[in-house]
Structure 1
Amino acid sequence: MASHKKKMTVTQLTLIVAVNMMGSGVIMLPANMAQVGAISLLSWAITAVGSMAIAYGFAQAGVFDREAGGMPAYAKEAHGRSGSFMVSYLYYISLAIANVAIAISAVSYLSPFFPWLNSTPFATMIGALGLIWLTTVANFGGPNITGKISAVTIWGVIIPVAGLSLIGWFWFSADRFAAAWNPQGLSLIEGLGSSITLTLWAFLGMESAAQNAGAVENPRKNVPLACMLGTVGAAVIYILSTTVIMGIVPNAELANSTAPFGLVYTQMFNSTIGSIIMACAALSCTGSLLGWQFTIAQSGKLAADAGMFPGFLGKVNSMDAPIIGMILIGIVQSVFAFSTASSSLTEQFSVLVDLSVVTNVIPYIMALSGLMVMMRKEKVTSKVFLRNSIIVAVAVVYSIYAIYASGAGAVVNAILIMMFGYLIYGFMAPRFETKAATQKADVKKTGEAT
């Protein structure tokens, strides 16, 4: 009973999904999209459909999965142990990359309060490292503590973003929005694909429910529910908030802003309100980083429990927190922070986002393709099989397009990361063969005894 009480409820897991998606992606999104123009909002049309298809696929996989093993377990159904390992490995790396980008976003919102954070690239890096290790240590309290903290930090997003979605229309100017529509003269096709990477970055986190399956009560019921609820809620808020802000703040001013939501509230009310909003946004970034730190540690634990990662990553303390794994990923993130340090924070953030998207989406494709095998094992009706297969096909085609839209540099770097993963798997594969042979011998011996 004691361990059961430490598990997250469906509400806490939904909040983890929402925080992971909204905590950092949306607060810088308007400024990044304004660099293209309001035509970049067309990317939401593709991303919203694709992301909902991905979320639905994960929700269905959560229903049929008997291991509560998340994406690696789904991929194993279709691609075997090597596929399961590659999903665990790439997802692990992608979260490490994403966490550095999130920490940089948090520092950008904190810099108006602490100007030294933005004085030099080194100072920014120190600030990002401080947040990475602060949220790492905060997760030592286990999944229940993380869920409770996330329930508080989510308001750092809900207050400024959802509030703007509701009341911002009173300041909305159709003429200002029209002037910001297409400053670069893009075609309709270019406009549709202009911000695919950014909008998908905002949706990354929809799989958090599946990855935290082992830490939630009644995962077969609650994982799909949390996955869909978190994604739908985020989609509505994203589209409304990014649309209304482009009709309030002049496009050139918005594109150069490092704190777009603080800027819009300053224009709507005054600088004091703007500063409060910036503080809320910084809180949300920290909460997002906290949720991602927990998710990546839990992913490492799931992989270790399945024999894919070293066993020490699966060891937990009395609060059910994999501390060793958390410390290790903190070190990995610190390495990424040092290796990507740049005089241009925008360029550094863009490189991290593109690479994170590619290394995140490849596991999506591998995991979703496992749903076909799972449905066959469950002997679902032909109607259910056809419906789910069509939706998964949409999700995978969108994912492939997102990889293409991320750019050649991100794709090449992701392939290099994958090749190192295959090298690592080559060293681990003999252990899997030995384990399988031992299990086969045990079965044979048991049969002879009976």
Structure 2
Amino acid sequence: MVSAVKKMNVVQLTVLTAINMLGSGIVLLPSKLAQVGTISIFSWIVTALGSLALAYAFAKCGRFSRKPGGMGGYAEYAFGRSGNFMSNYTYGVSLLIANVAIAITAVGYATVLFNMKLTPIGVAMATAGLLVLTTVANFGGARITGQIGNVTIWGVVIPVLGVSVLGWFWFDKSLYVAAWNPHDMPLLEAVGASISITLWAFLGLESACANTDAVENPERNVPIAVLGGTLGSAVIYIVSTNVIAGIVPNMDLAASNAPFGLAFATMFTPVVGQIIMGLMVIACIGSLLGWQFTIAQVFKSSADVGYFLKLFAKTTAKDVPIVGMLVLLACQVALTLMTISPDLSKQFDMIVNLAVVTNLVPYLMSMAALMTMQKVAGVTPRDAMFTNAIAYIAAAYSYYALYSAGANAMMLGGIVTMLGWTLYGTVSRRFMTVDAIVVTDPVINADAGTARGQ
């Protein structure tokens, strides 16, 4: 009875799910969408529907899966150990890339807040410095990181909810209409141009299914909470980004590295805008702090079962994988230097598209494995039909998002994914058994065939 009291109800889990998604992903969204125009509202609708399909399918995955490892465990149902490895590998790589994008977001806001003019090298150095700072800050363990994150998340939530509610008092319909399609793009092209950045805001929706053991009646409440949280986030995203488009002129918004600060400065005073920018810088740093620890744990958990190099499993007395953190940090700094651009916004685009592409690999593998998962769980084909249909819709949206990410992101994402197969080849021997060895000697095979014939 005591444990039941301590568990979350469906409302609490729904709110938690929405807050988990309302992270740093939205901070630069108004500027990125302004570069396309307010016609990007159609991208929001497409992404919201696709994300709801993904959320529903992941809720079902969490219900039927009996394997550990999150999306890696889901993929293992259909693709075996190699699928588990590739799912966790691409997910880990996508987090590594996404953290660089979060750091760039914080640097962008900080440059406006402190009125700094940084060269491309200066942006890269500031981004690398922030990545180093948040990595070293995690050496103290998960407890401090979690406490900081619980506070700093409100640096995003308060401004986003504030502009969604109060912004309508400053909303100018003529500004919104004038920003509809500033580059006269065809509808499908305009929608595709902003699919990646809208999906970026929803990445992490699969993590909402991790609370199954902490909620009352999980079979009923987890799907409701995941769908409700995703739908609630979608409404907040759509409202906040579109109301800003009716407050700030499109050209100013598209050129801004701190769109929420600009909106609040327009609504109230420049001082209020600076306060909002400060809150969002703090929120980005807090988010980055948490994700830097999370990515190290993702690599550690895979190293513990033999998928990744053993160095990622080494921990200190406080159970902190410092060696793995430093290796991942080196990769992030290298990525920061490799993507240096004269325009901070373009560097952000490049990294976000690559993060989206790599993150969609485990999404697609999970969707493909859902049919097998249901069969193993004893679900009848008739009962599984609706869930399978939703999984196909989610997969179709994922492929569309891959296509919309662009050829460059697809090429780099493909290279990163193929590298994973090489890495799996170096560790796969750890899982080999005598029964799994395929005999390739033609003489032995011939003898085996004769024996079977007898």
Q: TM class by shorter-chain length? A: 0.7 to 0.9
Q: More deviation in 142-151 or 279-288? A: 142-151
- The TM-score normalised by the length of structure 2 is 0.86
Q: Deviations over 1:12-39 (max 9, x none)?
A: 9988865664322211111111111110
**C-alpha spacing 1:16/1:334, structure 2 compared with 1 (3 Å):** farther
**C-alpha spacing 1:165/1:371, structure 2 compared with 1 (3 Å):** same
Residue 418 of structure 1 corresponds to which residue in structure 2? Answer: 417
Matches within 5 A, 1:17-166: 21-116=21-116, 118-166=117-165
Matches within 5 A, 1:28-427: 28-116=28-116, 118-209=117-208, 221=218, 227-228=226-227, 230-427=229-426
The answer as to whether partners of 1:342 and 1:348 remain within 8 angstroms in 2 is yes
Distance 1:338 1:189 in 2: 34
Distance 1:360 1:53 in 2: 16
Q: Deviations over 1:231-262 (max 9, x none)?
A: 33321210110111111111111111111111
Query: Structure 1 counterpart of 2:358, which letter?
Result: T
Instruction: After TM superposition, give the deviation of residue 363 of structure 1 in Å.
Output: 1.4
Identity %: 49
The answer as to whether partners of 1:125 and 1:337 remain within 8 angstroms in 2 is yes
Distance 2:125 2:16 in 1: 26
**C-alpha spacing 1:426/1:374, structure 2 compared with 1 (3 Å):** same
Instruction: After TM superposition, give the deviation of residue 122 of structure 1 in Å.
Output: 2.2
The answer as to whether partners of 2:40 and 2:190 remain within 8 angstroms in 1 is yes
**C-alpha spacing 1:270/1:181, structure 2 compared with 1 (3 Å):** same
Aligned residues: 429
Q: Deviations over 1:318-337 (max 9, x none)?
A: 54443332222122111111
Instruction: After TM superposition, give the deviation of residue 273 of structure 1 in Å.
Output: 0.4
Distance 1:136 1:219 in 2: 35
**C-alpha spacing 1:131/1:354, structure 2 compared with 1 (3 Å):** same
**C-alpha spacing 1:328/1:228, structure 2 compared with 1 (3 Å):** farther
Residue 446 of structure 1 corresponds to which residue in structure 2? Answer: none
Instruction: After TM superposition, give the deviation of residue 145 of structure 1 in Å.
Output: 3.5
Instruction: After TM superposition, give the deviation of residue 290 of structure 1 in Å.
Output: 2.1
Q: More deviation in 294-303 or 357-366? A: 294-303
* Helix, strand or coil at the partner of 2:432: helix
Distance 1:250 1:112 in 2: 18
The answer as to whether partners of 2:19 and 2:157 remain within 8 angstroms in 1 is no
Query: Structure 1 counterpart of 2:75, which letter?
Result: A
Distance 1:315 1:393 in 2: 39
**C-alpha spacing 1:87/1:270, structure 2 compared with 1 (3 Å):** same
Query: Structure 2 counterpart of 1:42, which letter?
Result: F
Distance 2:420 2:361 in 1: 13
Residue 444 of structure 2 corresponds to which residue in structure 1? Answer: none
Distance 1:219 1:198 in 2: 34
Distance 1:192 1:337 in 2: 28
Q: Deviations over 1:94-122 (max 9, x none)?
A: 11111111101100111134445x42222
* Helix, strand or coil at the partner of 1:248: coil
Query: Structure 2 counterpart of 1:63, which letter?
Result: R
Q: More deviation in 59-68 or 135-144? A: 135-144
Q: More deviation in 288-297 or 168-177? A: 288-297
Distance 1:422 1:345 in 2: 33
The answer as to whether partners of 2:112 and 2:258 remain within 8 angstroms in 1 is no
Q: More deviation in 292-301 or 270-279? A: 292-301
Unaligned runs of 5+ in 2: 1-6, 438-454
RMSD: 2.9
Query: Structure 2 counterpart of 1:424, which letter?
Result: L
The answer as to whether partners of 1:304 and 1:314 remain within 8 angstroms in 2 is yes
Instruction: After TM superposition, give the deviation of residue 378 of structure 1 in Å.
Output: 1.2
Instruction: After TM superposition, give the deviation of residue 74 of structure 1 in Å.
Output: 0.6
**C-alpha spacing 1:376/1:319, structure 2 compared with 1 (3 Å):** farther
Distance 1:308 1:13 in 2: 32
Distance 2:290 2:231 in 1: 19
Q: More deviation in 217-226 or 30-39? A: 217-226
Q: More deviation in 188-197 or 43-52? A: 188-197
Q: Deviations over 1:261-301 (max 9, x none)?
A: 11111111010100001011112211221232232122212
* Helix, strand or coil at the partner of 2:246: coil
